[in-house]
Amino acid sequence: MLHYTGIAANGGIVIGPAYHYNRSLLVAEDRMLEPDEVAPQLEQFEYAVARSKGELEKISALAEHKAGKQGSAIFEAQSMMLADTYVLDTIRRRIRDEKKSAAFIVDSEYNIHQHFLQTSENPLLRERADDVEDIKQRLLRHLLEKQKWISKLDHPAIVVAEFMTPADAILFSRQELLGFATDGGGATSHVAILARSLGLPAIVGLRGAAAHIETNDILILDGDLGELFVTPDDDTLARYRERLMEIQSKKKIVAAKGKETEFPPETIDGKKIVVNMNMELISDEAIAEAESMSKIKSKPVRGLGLLRTEHFLSEYDEIPSETDQTRIYSDLANRFYPAPITIRTFDIGGDKFIGGGFREKNPFLGWRGIRISLDQPETHIEQLRAILRASARQNVKLLLPMITTVDELEKVMHYLDEAKQELRQNGEAFDENIPLGVMIEVPAAALHAPAFATRCDFLSIGTNDLTQYTLAVDRGNEFVAHLFDELHPAVLRLIAMSVRAAHARKKPVSLCGEMAGKPIALPFIIGMGIDEISVAPNRVQMISGLIRKLKYSETKLLVRKVLEESQTIPELKQTLFRFLHKRNLVEDFLTPVEIEMIEGYGK
Ligand code: PEP
Ligand code: MG
């Protein structure tokens, strides 16, 4: 039995076979084609070349726009290599003569060229070998199509990978996925967030476990403790089977207790807090789950506090057309009506979909969110028009990610006016007063919150990024994951500043980072006077239940105490823990792991 400990990304225990997913290795199968497979393989090859050429053109134009001619030179060189008729004809001929798959021949042919370049005396030629590898990988990606790879998950399995993108997680979620375990990632990486919204047990940051796990190895994945057992021994299996049974019976009790009768949830002394939901998937199951959570006495009251539209890109493999976007947003707005839905414009970049093989050295500090939208105004306006159309029944809010400067906000306002004008001219219905909000997720935005609160209709605090950028800790990097903590006094001060700035201008504030779903942090959040929080659908009942057990007046005192007295994270957590403990809320709302960890600070 092997045993690994990583970062608990989402609770729950699952026992099942592994599926080892290796996203970096694209393997071309070596088998003889049936006679009727040759022509389709040749067609697929032409398709892969055309797609790759298109991608390279786009990247090259982008690189030129960003870094001038010099920046685009590599991609132009790759485009030229891809247009080399000698190589292309050789591949076509070999597919016909050898009757092997296009992927196999592409792999083999480009390997020959690569080997030739790698062994050259000329250093310039040796460098070109990397370009050949890039071209080969690009072609293979199109030839092997990720979906085909993934469709191998033909029975329930726990996916194990060195690294997974949010797009991988989404595609796997359509299969019989039991949970996942990755070597990379931190607790607020987007893969971990997706695990929570899918309600799947998951561990990230396992650092090197994947290499020791083969497909069909039996695993125990303990998402509560962040522990993974590979081919467990009988004792461990028996222990976990017993725990699974205990969890099942506890779940039934909680489900019976957890029925909600009121919205919005209210503290004992009458402060109402709206609890909405974050949503990133548009699968039928995800919508159905969110819809069922949105209803109280069969009336939709709870809406979406954050719709992460960028995840739709993995569905389409590129930015969906304006028509598709209009359909998706309008459908959601109608399904949740009269509850509001907050649609955030694409937050592409960072660890999320960027497409076309575009890579940056430091993506979280790079081309991300509103920066990309403002650099591509046509695409941005398309999205604004689609969101506006969905707002016709006045239950849509518009939210902007990664805002750092007032200038960015004003540019968006200008584009929004332009989009409204076009719809007016076409006689299309939309909400003239669609509320516009800014995400506070960069320290600059928090420090400058008064200026944003003056200009827009609401603020939404994104604690995942606010923590990452304030503490200089990459949220997706397992090596620094222990340093990532929303409960750092500096982060809490920035949140408090933002709330004060908004309320001074009578603008509401929402909090939609993962922190909103953490019971230990909730009294502090409530005490700051947050108007609305947004959490994963499966946290709604629990968080609403806790709100109803708190007194707003006491949480306000707690905030003062924390901000004035706590200097360190452990001190601060002890204070928050004692607050819950004194009110007998620890047992019901914190997991045993959280209790153990926080109690440890007091020793
Ligand atoms: C955040 O940063 O807290 C947030 C909600 O946005 P995302 O997690 O999508 O970056
Ligand atoms: Mg963010």
Over residues 546-586, the pLDDT tens digits come to 999 999 999 999 999 999 998 999 999 999 999 999 999 99
- Residue 398 contacts residue 431 (beta carbons within 8 Å): no
Amino acid at 16: G
- Residue 331, pLDDT > 50, answer yes
Q: Name the strand (E) or helix (H) holding 496.
A: helix 489-504
- Residue 32 contacts residue 110 (beta carbons within 8 Å): no
Residue nearest to atom 9 of ligand 1 (CA): 308
Q: What is the pLDDT of residue 194?
A: 82
- Residue 166 contacts residue 311 (beta carbons within 8 Å): yes
* Atom from ligand 1 closest to the CA of residue 308: 9
Contacts of 271 (CB under 8 A, 6+ apart): 526, 552
Tell which one of 464, 468, 509 to mutate to probe ligand 1, the residue whose CB is within 8 A of the most ligand atoms. 464
> Which ligand is nearest to the Cα of residue 308, counting in written order?
1
Q: What is the pLDDT of residue 25?
A: 56
Which range, 143-147, 208-212, 441-445, is most confident? 441-445
Is residue 255 very low, low, confident or very high in pLDDT (cuts 50, 70, 90)? low
Is residue 292 very low, low, confident or very high in pLDDT (cuts 50, 70, 90)? confident
Q: Class of the 28-143 domain?
A: mainly alpha
- Report the C-alpha gap between 204 and 187 in whole angstroms: 7
Is residue 509 very low, low, confident or very high in pLDDT (cuts 50, 70, 90)? very high
Q: Are domains 266-272+437-603 and 303-434 of this chain identical in fold?
A: yes
Task: Using the mean position of ligand 2's atoms as its centre, give its distance from the Cα of residue 251 in Å.
Answer: 31
Q: Of the CATH numbers 3.20.20.70, 3.50.30.10, 1.10.3720.10, 3.40.630.40, which one belongs to the domain with range 1-23+149-237?
A: 3.50.30.10
Which range, 81-90, 193-202, 412-421, is most confident? 412-421
- Residue 256, pLDDT > 80, answer no
Q: How far is CA 367 from CA 191, 193, 441, 493, in A?
A: 20, 21, 15, 27
Residue nearest to atom 8 of ligand 1 (CA): 464
Task: Using the mean position of ligand 2's atoms as its centre, give its distance from the Cα of residue 451 in Å.
Answer: 20
Q: What is the pLDDT of residue 257?
A: 53
Q: Give bridge partners of residue 179 from the DSSP assignment.
A: 158
Is residue 148 very low, low, confident or very high in pLDDT (cuts 50, 70, 90)? very low
Q: What is the pLDDT of residue 129?
A: 79
Average pLDDT in the 178-184 region?
Answer: 93
According to DSSP, residue 321 is labeled P
Q: How far is CA 492 from CA 223, 247, 392, 497, 572, in A?
A: 27, 34, 37, 9, 10
Q: Class of the 266-272+437-603 domain?
A: alpha beta
* Atom from ligand 1 closest to the CA of residue 310: 9
Q: What is the pLDDT of residue 151?
A: 47
79 vs 353: which has the higher pLDDT: 79
Tell which one of 190, 193, 308 to mutate to probe ligand 1, the residue whose CB is within 8 A of the most ligand atoms. 308
According to DSSP, residue 26 is labeled -
Tell which one of 279, 312, 347 to mutate to probe ligand 1, the residue whose CB is within 8 A of the most ligand atoms. 347
Contacts of 138 (CB under 8 A, 6+ apart): 52, 55, 56, 357
Tell which one of 400, 512, 515, 518 to mutate to probe ligand 1, the residue whose CB is within 8 A of the most ligand atoms. 512
* Atom from ligand 1 closest to the CA of residue 278: 5
Instruction: Give percent of the chain above pLDDT 90.
Output: 61
- Residue 147, pLDDT > 50, answer no
Residue nearest to atom 3 of ligand 1 (CA): 462
Helix ranges, 184-233 (H): 190-198
Task: Using the mean position of ligand 1's atoms as its centre, give its distance from the Cα of residue 513 in Å.
Answer: 5
Phi and psi of 158, rounded to 5°? Answer: -100, 120
pLDDT tens for 74-133 read: 778 888 889 999 999 999 999 999 999 999 999 999 989 888 888 888 877 777 777 888
- Report the C-alpha gap between 132 and 129 in whole angstroms: 5
Residue nearest to atom 6 of ligand 1 (CA): 462
3-class DSSP assignment, residue 52: helix
- Residue 494, pLDDT > 70, answer yes
Task: Using the mean position of ligand 2's atoms as its centre, give its distance from the Cα of residue 402 in Å.
Answer: 7
* Atom from ligand 1 closest to the CA of residue 188: 8
Task: Using the mean position of ligand 2's atoms as its centre, give its distance from the Cα of residue 536 in Å.
Answer: 15
pTM: 0.79
- Residue 48, pLDDT > 60, answer yes
* Atom from ligand 1 closest to the CA of residue 306: 5
The overall average pLDDT reported for the chain is 89
Q: Class of the 303-434 domain?
A: alpha beta
Residue nearest to atom 10 of ligand 1 (CA): 465
Name every protein residue with a CB atom under 6 angstroms from any ligand 1 atom.
Answer: 193, 306, 308, 347, 441, 462-465, 512-513
CA 102 to chain centre: 34
Which range, 28-42, 161-175, 326-340, is most confident? 326-340
**Domain boundaries of the chain, sorted by first residue:** 1-23+149-237, 28-143, 266-272+437-603, 303-434
Task: Using the mean position of ligand 2's atoms as its centre, give its distance from the Cα of residue 401 in Å.
Answer: 7
* Atom from ligand 1 closest to the CA of residue 460: 5
> Which ligand is nearest to the Cα of residue 536, counting in written order?
1
pLDDT tens for 274-283 read: 999 999 877 7
Active site (catalytic) residues? 190, 512
Phi and psi of 344, rounded to 5°? Answer: -95, 135
Pairing between β-strand 227-230 and β-strand 2-5 as defined by DSSP bridges: antiparallel
Task: Using the mean position of ligand 2's atoms as its centre, give its distance from the Cα of residue 250 in Å.
Answer: 34
Average pLDDT in the 156-166 region?
Answer: 87
Q: What is the pLDDT of residue 369?
A: 95
Is residue 350 very low, low, confident or very high in pLDDT (cuts 50, 70, 90)? confident
- Residue 178 contacts residue 206 (beta carbons within 8 Å): no
Task: Using the mean position of ligand 2's atoms as its centre, give its distance from the Cα of residue 97 in Å.
Answer: 52
